[in-house]
Amino acid sequence: MRAMVLTAARAPLREVELPDPEPGPGQALLRVLACGVCRTDLHVVDGELSRPKLPLVPGHEIVAEVVASTGRFSPGDRVGVPWLGWTCGACPYCRAGRENLCDRALFTGYDLDGGYAELCVADERFCFAVPPPFGDVEAAPLLCAGLIGYRSLRVAGDAERVGLYGFGAAAHIVCQVALHQGREVYALTRPGEKQLEVEKASWDRLAAAVRLIFAQEE
């Protein structure tokens, strides 16, 4: 298969030919349809996350078609693969349903080869069915920014006002969900940052788009 591979921190990714991956117990073999670029991917490539598996296929916002499955999915199903790629299932965090805090966790595109390739393998426990209304490209950011944003929104409970610190990819998505739920949303950034005007422009465009969507639904 073709893959984009990181061989050293701050080195350009290289297109190479790799053997097709072989799924292990509990894993699915997947044909990659789309893979987003998350800020975490850039941290890995830039060496700011300092212990990646090398050589490494980055990418953890994966939308893929199932080629082979151990039983949870059927060939042809469309699934998403997120950052969290494996957990032990036995530690106190895993037993409490907080497996994202597992001390032994392995992460897609960091400890495990990710989605910048034609094929990948993934633990079926951490694959999500992707429903038909979403296109491959549109669904990819939901596998990281969408997940962490929605998880945070759920923790906020039924609060009528929601504050978003920064306005990156996760906030951009969770903002749309919160507005759809009828909440007031406030985005907070530090004054003087160059990013502030970019975020303000993004916010204005998003607010206009959400108003248009709701008007069409009515």
Greater confidence, 192 or 202? 192
Where does the pLDDT of residue 192 fall: very low under 50, low under 70, confident under 90, or very high at 90 and above?
Answer: low
* pLDDT for 124: 96
Name the residue ranges covered by the structural domains of the chain: 2-133, 147-217
Tokens coding 194:
């160059």
Mean pLDDT for 197-209 is 52
Residue 156: name the closest of 168, 145, 147, 164 by CA.
164
**Interatomic CA distance for residues 35 and 11, integer angstroms:** 20
The CATH architecture of the domain made up of 147-217 is: 3-Layer(aba) Sandwich (3.40)
Question: According to CATH, what is the number of the domain 2-133?
Answer: 3.90.180.10
The structure's pTM equals: 0.82
Q: pLDDT for 12-42, tens place per residue?
A: 999 999 999 999 999 999 999 999 999 899 9
Q: Among 73-77, 110-114, 158-162, which stretch is predicted with the lowest mean pLDDT? A: 158-162
Question: Which neighbouring-strand residues pair with 123?
Answer: 27
Please state, in angstroms and rounded to a whole number, the distance separating the CA atoms of residues 158 and 115. 35
Do the domains 147-217 and 2-133 match in fold?
A: no
